[in-house]
Amino acid sequence: MASLYDRADIYDLLETEKRYQITKRHWETVLAGKPVKTLLDVSIGSGNLTLPLAELGVELYGSDLSGEMLKRCGEKAEKKGFSVDLRTSDFRRLDENFDTAFDCVASTGNSLPYVPNGEVLDVLAQMDRLVRPGGYLYVDIRNWDKIRETKQRFYLYNPTFLDDGVRMNLVQVWDRHEDGSMTFNLLYTFERENKIFQKESFEEHYFPLGRRVLLDGLEQLGYKEIEMMCLPAFQEAVKPEEADWYCVLARKQEAST
């Protein structure tokens, strides 16, 4: 079964100007008062959760496993007149591709659960190596604790209306495996005049990543100031523990003298 990340064009069909503005406001909220001038996103994909930062004056760097997603990110950045340094890299091997420190190192788009829980601390350590003393490590993620508790199986998106009167629907069906991992089955349907004329399906395999594993990992790496917020962060009515998505921002200790 194809990976969605080989079809960056389809992945991006959910992205709208409204979502771009929401993401921009999210980052304004998260980074308010924080001296973040440079940021590396180690799972930047096609840049949906990161490119708005360029408009906020942040110097952007991005890496990802998927060349197709990076290509699309580069094209979108160019269209908007943003300069982004993009490199192909597995986030388990960042040391092979980066050797400078950033004000913030991020993994956006629920990407850490692509690796088994046992490897997550190594990924955080790889990210931490690139955070300057006093800088920040940021992760956003689905609320896997909630997914486990509710045993939710279907995740539905509102229809998206594309050009030429085409309506797109996306349904996700989540399968649970005995080893605790999950497969997300994604079905996109495209319809015109009440007839489905195209279907695209993809499978994504995840290792559910509970809050405790993430927060304990950060604490083991010496992070003490750790904030949890909803995604988007300006949603005050919901607690991060109850939201479908949340993010974690952790400040690295200043170097001891």
Ligand X SMILES: C[S@@+](CC[C@H](N)C(=O)[O-])C[C@H]1O[C@@H](n2cnc3c(N)ncnc32)[C@H](O)[C@@H]1O
Q: Is 134 left (phi over 0), alpha (psi -120 to 50) or beta?
A: left
CB 47 within 8 A of CB 112: no
Half-sphere exposure for 149 (CA within 13 Å, toward CB): 10
Q: Where are the alpha helices (DSSP H) in 31-142?
A: 52-55, 67-80, 117-129
Considering beta carbons, is residue 108 or 143 the nearer one to ligand X?
Answer: 108
Considering beta carbons, is residue 110 or 143 the nearer one to ligand X?
Answer: 110
What does residue 191 show for φ and ψ, rounded to 5 degrees? -130, 145
Considering beta carbons, is residue 197 or 234 the nearer one to ligand X?
Answer: 234
Q: How far is the CB of 44 from ligand X (least distance, A)?
A: 6
Considering beta carbons, is residue 92 or 146 the nearer one to ligand X?
Answer: 92
Q: How far is the CB of 94 from ligand X (least distance, A)?
A: 9
Considering beta carbons, is residue 88 or 253 the nearer one to ligand X?
Answer: 88
Q: How far is the CB of 194 from ligand X (least distance, A)?
A: 31
Q: How large is the angle between the packed helices 117-129 and 211-220, nearest 10 degrees?
A: 40
User: CA–CA separation, 162 vs 14, rounded Å?
Assistant: 10
Q: Which chain residues interact with ligand X by CB under 6 A?
A: 5, 43-46, 48-49, 64-66, 69, 90-92, 108-111, 114-115
